[in-house]
Structure 1
Amino acid sequence: MTARIDDSTPPDSAADTLGARERILSAAFELFHESGYAGTSVTRIARAAGMTPAAIYWHFPSKQDVLAAMLKRMYETSYSDLRGSVRTEGSATERLGDYVRAYVRIQLEDLGDRRNHSYSALASSLTTEDQRALGLLSRPYIELLREILQQGVQSGTFDIDDMSVTSYAISTMCENVFTWFRVGGRLSIDEVAEHHFRLVLRMVNATPARPA
């Protein structure tokens, strides 16, 4: 008889392994963001993934390993979406608009009202080594933003006193928009994205575009 993924025996094939890992990480994504690391047990993840807790441990040695793998995948996927949304050519203002709007949408379109914990808050539950590895994955977010801000400074469009403080402030504001946004509330996701962009333009002291 063929062994099932959701019992205490190992999977039969690479396809079974990949499918099971995806189910585990998808379930963990929702539960960790909804209930946090401490509030999410392996049993809850297993139940949401349609398998037993014993099956989880065939793929991940511990709950910490599930969290680390989930965050790694989310950072890589989100950055790919963000980078793909920012035009490679264009003015600094246009590219900054692409960045802010995409970042806000990524935060709000994933889970809506079910997200209570940010990536950074969840990352604090990782080991020091895993936090360091995750930090390397988050670096491109800031590097892309600083590239855009530097373009604006060099062109005379932006006036920024402290590049480091400003870039982290913008990134943090966009990442944590989910803490107050409510689906079906007064503002739509697109409207929130536009509001954030206008706020960011003030933060960088953007020079208004001149009429053609």
Structure 2
Amino acid sequence: MARTAGSHSGITGPKVRQTALRLFAEHGYAAVSMRQIAGEVGVQAGALYNYTPDKQSLLFDLMQAHMVELMAAMPQDSSLAPIDQLEAFVRFHIAFHHDRPDAVFIAYMELRNLSEPNFAVIEDMRRSYEERLRAILTAGQGIGAWDVADAQIASFAVIAMLTGVNTWFRSGGRLRLDQVQDQYWHMVRNAVGAS
């Protein structure tokens, strides 16, 4: 199949993903057509299939890429005390997700649109991320650094609290990102009963 005149796989492929990410975040996966993505990219609708087999694959690729990047960037220094690991996790989660609002929105809001096999892969990746926080909370619990009745429930609560920053925080507002990280770290410490 001939490539659309003026397109280049090293440029057009990433542009397809960036455009799909933006459109899915703005309008929702179900409301966006491949034709709409192609129009914004500046290629014929059929040319999109040079870059992705279908819209479901495109959604899955976006979510998987986000999770791979998240897991690769996550701090993992087991030589630190659990309290320091927890602080690093809190600050990392807020900063990482702040820089990727569209990817975060899609990762949480469009899970329902994944096929069963794709959902299983993403859910497994999410569990691995949650397990990192659960391991930190369990380690701190084991040495009496805090009082958590159930590390799994606490990890879900902390992640939900931290991810919520994306719904309201905007750069250039009343608080800087580091000030938000400071306040959330204080709240997380209190939530887990850190001594």
TM-score range, shorter chain: 0.7 to 0.9
Q: In structure 1, what is the equivalent of residue 122 of structure 2?
A: 134
Q: In structure 2, what is the equivalent of residue 29 of structure 1?
A: 21
C-alpha displacement at 1:45, in angstroms? 2.2
CA RMSD of aligned residues (A): 2.5
Q: Percent identity?
A: 26
SS in 2 for 1:182: coil
Asked if structure 1 preserves the Cα contact closer than 8 Å seen for 2:66 and 2:103, the reply is no
Asked if structure 2 preserves the Cα contact closer than 8 Å seen for 1:46 and 1:52, the reply is yes
User: Does residue 195 of the first structure (1) align with residue 180 of the second (2)?
Assistant: no
Tell me how far apart the structure 1 counterparts of residues 35 and 179 of structure 2 sit (CA, whole Å): 39
Query: Of 142, 146, 156, which aligns to 1:154?
Result: 142
1:110-189 paired onto structure 2 within 5 Å = 110-111=100-101, 117-189=105-177
Q: Which has the higher helix share?
A: 2
SS in 2 for 1:201: helix
Compared CA separation, residues 69 and 18, structure 1 to 2 (3 A): farther
Q: In structure 2, what is the equivalent of residue 106 of structure 1?
A: 96
Q: In structure 2, what is the equivalent of residue 52 of structure 1?
A: 44
Compared CA separation, residues 180 and 140, structure 1 to 2 (3 A): same
Question: How many residues are treated as equivalent by the alignment?
Answer: 195
Runs of 4 or more, structure 1, over 6 Å off, are none
Asked if structure 2 preserves the Cα contact closer than 8 Å seen for 1:159 and 1:206, the reply is yes
C-alpha displacement at 1:158, in angstroms? 1.3
Tell me how far apart the structure 1 counterparts of residues 11 and 135 of structure 2 sit (CA, whole Å): 38
Structure 1 letter corresponding to 2:145 = T
Tell me how far apart the structure 2 counterparts of residues 78 and 199 of structure 1 sit (CA, whole Å): 23
Q: Which piece of structure 1 moves more, 170-179 or 64-73?
A: 170-179
Runs of 5+ consecutive residues of structure 1 not aligned to the other structure:
208-212
Q: In structure 2, what is the equivalent of residue 4 of structure 1?
A: 3
Q: In structure 2, what is the equivalent of residue 210 of structure 1?
A: none
Runs of 5+ consecutive residues of structure 2 not aligned to the other structure:
none
Asked if structure 2 preserves the Cα contact closer than 8 Å seen for 1:118 and 1:175, the reply is no
C-alpha displacement at 1:78, in angstroms? 1.5
Tell me how far apart the structure 2 counterparts of residues 5 and 154 of structure 1 sit (CA, whole Å): 60
Structure 2 letter corresponding to 1:126 = L
Structure 2 letter corresponding to 1:91 = A
Give the TM-score of the pair, scaled to structure 1: 0.81
